Amino acid sequence: MAPRFSSFEDAVKVKPLAILVGQAPVRLWGIDGRERLQRVLGKLGVELHDEHATAPTGRDLLYLRADYLFDERVVAALLETPGVALRATAGGPLVALHAPAAQAAPASAVLAGQTPVDGYRIETPESLASAYQERLRKRSTPYVLPVTEAERPALEQRLFGTAYKGVTDFITKWWWPRPARQVTGVCARRGITPNQVTLTGLVLTVAAGFAFWGGWWLPGLVCAWLMTFLDTVDGKLARVTVKSSRFGDILDHGIDLIHPPFWYAAWALGAPEGSLPAQALIWVIVTGYVGGRLAEGAFQVLCAKFSLFVWRPFDSFNRLVTARRNPNLLMLTVCALLGAPALGLWLVAGWTVLSTVLLWARVGMALAERRRGALVSWLQQVGREIPADSLAVRWFAR
């Protein structure tokens, strides 16, 4: 019996049932193909259906080959496009099929190549899903790839690479990826969860703060740098194992947002008495830090939905060094090693003020341009207004 809906809107909201076909015996980041797809579909709110059971009438069916690695963007796009048959590459094998209710019965035969692909629109990952990833501030080509043991290292690298933000500070972008991949692999193989990594980072955050407050610069810096490293690992682990959770996301972003000014305040209080005007510097740094965050929020509320740091290439370059935790922590580390911890805080204060002034100036420029039309991220203009061989594309969009 077909499901009944109280309204047309209710009918539109009903998602297709997903049917997984085949199996990939090769495990990527500790997960086989079926389990990975199950987790991806679970995130998208899609119910699984046994391929050998009779499918209910009146429901679309989404067939996915479990022996292929699907970019999550491709799965999300498939859910929104009934009547699409997906090939891994142009002219390649069929790997997915979104069969409308009226065509659901013979769909498995179509996917298996036993019947013609009549009545379906043929797409590839690149034509179906967007290369622009707003949340990760990057561009990357959507993909569906066959899973084999020979290709396992390359596929794991692909998953790790697609989990990384394109626009971030220079330490996260260039210093952490190689060690972070190794530690992410250890965590995945040993069943360590992203939330466990985040909670370990929280302990290190508190330990660093107390160490700074006590004037124990080097132990505090060791804890602080380990925390920043684990802050990279937990997000990558969550994405490559498809184990992100709302609690973990809130905890991770909450820690990131709140702890930096407390570190700077602890550093000021731990400095030798009389070496700097601690209270004044704390107010300057905290006010500047909050002002910078407000500028980023104001851009998204008043100017565009995407991040300020992907508006123009200049803003992406600015994100490499703007006064966020990692660049500031590097200044504190260098000065502490030189025996001048007070100088480090002065540098952080000055750089925070300059960065915040620049961010608000960019918000003002965006507001002026917004009056002439909607703003568009430069990452969406690569190959058009932004040359594909430019430095910005090489650094942030590949």
Tens of pLDDT, residue by residue over 213-228, are: 999 999 999 999 999 9
Residues 79, 189 within the same domain: no
Under DSSP, the state recorded for 172 is: I
Digit-coded pLDDT (tens) for 238-256: 999 998 778 888 888 889 9
Within-domain flag for 137? no
* Residue 2 amino acid letter: A
Among the ranges given (10-14, 50-54, 107-111, 358-362), the one the predictor scored with the smallest mean pLDDT = 10-14
Q: How far apart are CA 237 and CA 184, in angstroms?
A: 6
Digit-coded pLDDT (tens) for 83-96: 899 999 998 889 99
Strand ranges (DSSP E) for 10-150?
17-21, 61-65, 68-70, 84-87, 94-99, 121-123, 132-133, 138-139, 144-146
Q: How far is CA 40 from CA 13, 68, 170, in A?
A: 18, 13, 30
Residues 93, 28 within the same domain: yes
Q: For position 82, which CATH number holds?
A: 3.90.550
Residue 283 has pLDDT above 80, yes or no: yes
Q: Which two tokens stand for residue 320?
A: 């490499």
Residues 375, 250 within the same domain: yes
Residues 192, 111 within the same domain: no
Q: Which of 132, 154, 172 is the last residue of a domain?
A: 132
* Phi/psi at 369 (5° precision): -70, -30
CB atoms within 10 A of CB 253: 11
Residues 219, 288 within the same domain: yes
Query: What pLDDT is attached to residue 250?
Result: 87
Digit-coded pLDDT (tens) for 13-72: 578 999 998 887 899 999 999 999 999 999 999 998 877 666 676 788 899 999 999 999
Query: What pLDDT is attached to residue 210?
Result: 97
Within-domain flag for 280? yes
Residues 120, 54 within the same domain: yes
Tell me the average pLDDT across 194-218.
Answer: 96
Q: Are 167 and 161 in contact (CB under 8 A)?
A: no
Residue 175 has pLDDT above 70, yes or no: yes
Residue 5: pLDDT band by 50, 70, 90 thresholds?
A: very low
Residue 269 has pLDDT above 70, yes or no: yes
Residue whose C-alpha is closest to residue 16's, from 82, 111, 102 = 82
Residue 383 φ/ψ region, left for φ over 0, alpha for ψ in the -120 to 50 degree band, beta for the rest = left
User: How many independent structural domains does the chain possess?
Assistant: 2
Within-domain flag for 201? yes
Return the higher-pLDDT residue of 271 and 283. 283
Q: How far apart are CA 295 and CA 254, in angstroms?
A: 18
Residues 176, 45 within the same domain: no
Query: What pLDDT is attached to residue 158?
Result: 92
Q: For position 173, which CATH number holds?
A: 1.20.120.1760
Residues 282, 344 within the same domain: yes
* Residue 16 amino acid letter: P
Tell me the average pLDDT across 152-164.
Answer: 92
User: Whole domain around residue 337: which residue ranges?
Assistant: 163-396
Under DSSP, the state recorded for 148 is: -
Residues 114, 177 within the same domain: no
Q: How far apart are CA 299 and CA 306, in angstroms?
A: 8
Under DSSP, the state recorded for 144 is: E
> Rounded to 5 degrees, what angle do the CA atoms 358, 361, 364 make?
155
Residue 196 has pLDDT above 70, yes or no: yes
Tell me the average pLDDT across 376-388.
Answer: 88
Residue 140 has pLDDT above 50, yes or no: yes
Residues 86, 219 within the same domain: no
Q: How far apart are CA 255 and CA 248, in angstroms?
A: 11
Within-domain flag for 210? yes
Within-domain flag for 151? no
Q: Which two tokens stand for residue 334?
A: 């260098």
